[in-house]
Chains A and B, each alone.
Chain A
Amino acid sequence: MRALSIASTGMLAQQTNVEVIANNLANMNTTGFKQQRAEFQDLLYQNVEQAGAQTSDSGTVLPMGIQLGSGVRTAAISRIMTQGDASNTGNPYDLMIQGSGYFHITMPDGTDAYTRAGNFALSPEGQIVTDKGYTVSPGVAVPSNATSISVNAQGQVSATVPGQAAPQTLGQLELVRFPNEGGLSAQGDNLFTETASSGSAQAGVPGSAGYGTIQQGYLETANVNPVEEVTALITAQRAYEMNSKVVTAADDMMQTTSRMGGA
């Protein structure tokens, strides 16, 4: 009885589906979070009778064969990279990327990580850092006596210092892009790292061709649509239930079989 194992692949797939939906809903308020989706594919087929096999010497062929499927598998969990909404915070160190690209973060061990969550702050040394204290590459230091700081759309950071009429340029933020951003590996803490499937990071100035611009005082909200997720949740739950019905039916048939010899 293959129906039992086939239906169990269906239940497993829907379980993964619900887990992905749960993670999306849990991250509804996570800055820069990207909605994920489980992708399913059918499993291998067993060829019982090959379509096109000869049925006589005169060359007639079987118009259809018998191919028995063996269920479903989760092929991938992909991220949907649409832009989240802009939420105004007024905090000068909250930066949002409008368009594509990632901020480049240097981790404490010197490796690179990438993020779209621009909720930055200052370190004790005056460096612009993430909320975990990791440096935002290429590293911009803000003088302690700066009265205000501004970041323009092209990522240029400047500060107003007492006694100086013109704002002082402090540095230039950079954005990176990937040939396939879907291939980035999520590390938690809103951070991503490069993988063989994402391709290598290509740095550029915000606002140049293909790169997004920077919005100061805004944060990108998660692109999770709760209505969509709840609908998906209901569908997944029903699909799970129906696959469990198949398990019950298969079990029922087997029970009938085992009773046949009795009485």
Chain B
Amino acid sequence: MDNTLLVSLSQQIAAYRSMDVIANNMANLSTPAFKRESVKFEEYIQQSQPAEGETGTQQISFVQDKGTLRDLTQGAISHTGAPFDIAINGKGYFTVKSPDGTTHYTRNGHFTLDASGRIATEGGDLLQGDGGELTITNDDGDIKIAQDGTVSGARGQLGKVKLVTFDDETSLQKDGASLYSTMQQAKPVETPMMLQGSLEGSNVQPVLEISHMLDVMRAYQTTANLTQSQEELKRNAIDKLGSAAN
């Protein structure tokens, strides 16, 4: 009898988890290059032995969350006009290195210069080119970043922004601040496509999220109602059976 309660409970916990993921998607509507996530659920089947007088095994299926799936489709590219905003069109990640030497990957192409004129993220991680960090001096004038990542100024070529990709992009770990990390070997992208003065937007589609949210909410309420009627059933049984005994 308790199984109904426990099965509903597993669904309700799952609904809470979905809601958290939807909330995170919605909160990151304006985060450059944010990739939306969805929760993947799986059936967990418990076999219970038949009671006396019954035949066959009974199956009870619970729901359990199996993973968060990242949707890797590209976000819309919007023009910003800032010289160090670089949008990746198609595959690839920028490689950035923090001062302590840890490597991260990101698709958020909003960069600025640091105090020594190196191209860096807002967090101070340095953008890596083919030959390490990229330094811009005042003599370079206006900086042009070509489609293949070649950085050039008034004094000629200064370096080339490196784009890398991985065998399994979905298993990159999110570290916050738009950064990813992985133990996988980074492979160079063969035909990089970069767009200077633009940023890739978030690929969250508000309409989709809102409808998912309503789905989750209704499913949650339905399960709550189920629990409620189960509760009433129990009480009725106790009342009826109890009064019959008198």
- Asked whether A and B interact, the reply is yes
Chain A positions near chain B (C-beta within 8 angstroms): 1-4, 6-7, 9-10, 13-14, 17, 37-45, 47, 49-52, 62-72, 75-76, 78, 80-82, 177, 179-180, 182-183, 196-199, 202, 209-210, 235-236, 238-239, 242-243, 245-246, 249-250, 252-253, 256-257, 259-260, 263
Q: Which of B61-77 contact A (CB under 8 A)?
A: 65-69
Q: Which of B16-35 contact A (CB under 8 A)?
A: 16-17, 19-24, 26-32, 34
CB atoms of B30 and A69 under 8 A apart: no
Count of A-B contacts judged by CB separation below 8 Å: 217
CB atoms of B177 and A75 under 8 A apart: yes
Given A82-B81, A179-B115, A197-B114, does the pair A69, B29 have CB atoms closer than 8 Å? no
| Nearest 9 CB-CB pairings of A with B | A10-B27, A69-B24, A180-B113, A64-B67, A3-B23, A6-B23, A179-B117, A44-B176, A199-B115
Q: Residue B138 contacts which of A51, A179, A245, A257 (CB distance < 8 angstroms)?
A: A179
CB atoms of B210 and A210 under 8 A apart: no
CB atoms of A68 and B28 under 8 A apart: no
Chain B positions near chain A (C-beta within 8 angstroms): 12, 15-17, 19-24, 26-32, 34, 37, 39-40, 65-69, 80-83, 108, 110, 112-117, 122-123, 136-141, 154, 168, 170-171, 173-178, 183, 206, 209-210, 213-214, 216-217, 220-221, 224, 227-228, 231-232
CA distance in complex: A239, B28 (Å)? 9
CA distance in complex: A69, B179 (Å)? 13
Give the chain A neighbours of B171 by CB distance below 8 A: 51-52, 63-65
CB atoms of B19 and A72 under 8 A apart: no
A sample of 26 inter-chain contacts (CB < 8 A) reads: A3-B22, A7-B27, A10-B27, A44-B176, A45-B174, A45-B176, A64-B68, A66-B39, A68-B24, A69-B28, A69-B174, A75-B122, A180-B117, A182-B112, A182-B113, A183-B115, A199-B115, A202-B138, A238-B206, A239-B206, A242-B209, A246-B26, A246-B213, A249-B19, A249-B216, A253-B19
Give the chain B neighbours of A40 by CB distance below 8 A: 28, 30-32
Residue of B nearest to A242 (CB): B206
